[in-house]
Amino acid sequence: MELAGALQLGELAAAFAALPLFPLFDTAYFIVSLLYLKYEPGAVEMSRKSPFASWLCAMLHCFGSYILADLLLGESPIDYLSNNSSVILATAVWYLIFFCPMNLFYKCVSFLPMKLIFVAMKEVVRVRKIAAGVHHAHHRYHHGWFVMMATGWVKGSGVALMSNFEQLLRGVWKPETNEILLMSFPTKASLYGTVLFTLQQTRWLPVSEANLIFFFTMFMIVCKVFMTATHSHASPFAPVESFICPVFFGSVSSGRTSHHQDQHGASHEVSHPPPPPAKSKEELNEGTRKRKAKKAE
């Protein structure tokens, strides 16, 4: 009975991993990516002033991960744009989200129940892209673990990693929003996921690729749907990171405390200004002469 259940689960995972992404899942991926673009400040105004710049930003949101992965592997960064069907589909979604009369398309896809379905479908595409990136890098560099991890990571979160460049196209420069400095949950999850897929690809993780795709996709769907439904930005990895990071990388609180103490000490010094400097010998002699002159008068 257990063997039959394991076989059925393996067949389900294999069938899930073989699902075609185009056009249904790719459409959901484009919809969610361009919804996030429309949420950016000034994106709607830019689409009216410069539709071409808005279209370029939309293509980066849709295909930025492929561009970064091709750059890492020494391939043409515009190679994926030769896929005319995907580019036309992404362009159609961009036009409907930004220019549909009365914002009907945007209102439909941003309706929360519909949006949750699209978010779940986007995570299916994300995990498949991570697996494909690791597999592609393994084909080129059989023993290049870090190449596999880097390629899978940018395949899963390339849009976020290119956010500063995309901001420049919109005329915005926010270096403090660098994704590497402050990683969002999808970027962290893509990093952890690409480590798992690299271990599986190099036979260090005794799990089939189909099973890993299935279980990691379920994890991503549950997390992202919950975070989107509750409008939460808290990472599910935060409890584990708060326990592990102080052990291996030190605690930040000590630095903050010392900084606070430095500021307190500085303010204390400012509240008690230093005494005035002692008078020089010439000033003392001049003061003595003036006192003697007053007595003589």
Total number of domains constituting the chain: 1
In a domain, 188, yes or no: yes
In a domain, 21, yes or no: yes
Structure confidence at residue 182 (pLDDT): 87
SS (H, E, C) 65-123: HHHHHHHHCCCCCCCHHHCHHHHHHHHHHHHHHHHCHHHHHHHHHCCHHHHHHHHHHHH
Structure confidence at residue 253 (pLDDT): 52
In a domain, 258, yes or no: no
Structure confidence at residue 173 (pLDDT): 81
Q: Where are the alpha helices (DSSP H) in the chain?
A: 2-17, 24-39, 43-49, 51-72, 84-99, 104-109, 112-140, 145-161, 163-169, 185-201, 209-230, 238-249, 253-271, 281-296
In a domain, 211, yes or no: yes
Q: Which domain holds residue 131?
A: 14-234
Structure confidence at residue 234 (pLDDT): 83
Place of tokens 């689960």: 9
Mean pLDDT value across residues 63-75 = 93
In a domain, 254, yes or no: no
In a domain, 143, yes or no: yes
Structure confidence at residue 7 (pLDDT): 60
Using alpha carbons only, give the angle 192, 195, 201 rounded to the nearest 5 degrees: 145
Predicted confidence (pLDDT) per residue in 269-295, tens digit:
344 444 555 544 444 455 555 454 444
In a domain, 281, yes or no: no
Structure confidence at residue 128 (pLDDT): 97
- Rounded to whole angstroms, the Cα distance separating 210 from 32 reads 25
Residues 220, 126 contacting (CB under 8 angstroms) = yes
Structure confidence at residue 281 (pLDDT): 45
Mean pLDDT value across residues 150-154 = 96
In a domain, 263, yes or no: no
Structure confidence at residue 175 (pLDDT): 78
Predicted confidence (pLDDT) per residue in 174-188, tens digit:
877 888 888 999 999
Q: Dihedral, CA atoms, 31, 34, 35, 37, nearest 10 degrees?
A: 170
- Rounded to whole angstroms, the Cα distance separating 60 from 67 reads 8
- Indicate the range of 33-42, 147-156, 247-256, 286-295 predicted with least confidence: 286-295
Q: Is the pLDDT of residue 127 over 50?
A: yes
Q: Is residue 222 classed as helix, strand or coil in its secondary structure?
A: helix
Mean pLDDT value across residues 19-30 = 96
Q: Dihedral, CA atoms, 33, 233, 127, 221, nearest 10 degrees?
A: -100
Report the half-sphere exposure of 122 (CA within 13 A, side-chain side). 24
What are phi and psi for residue 279, nearest 5 degrees? -70, 150
Share of the chain above pLDDT 70, in %: 82
Structure confidence at residue 113 (pLDDT): 96
Q: Is the pLDDT of residue 254 over 80?
A: no
In this prediction the pTM is: 0.81
Per-residue confidence band for 2, with pLDDT thresholds at 50, 70 and 90: low
Residue 145 CB coordination number (10 Å): 17
Mean pLDDT value across residues 196-216 = 95
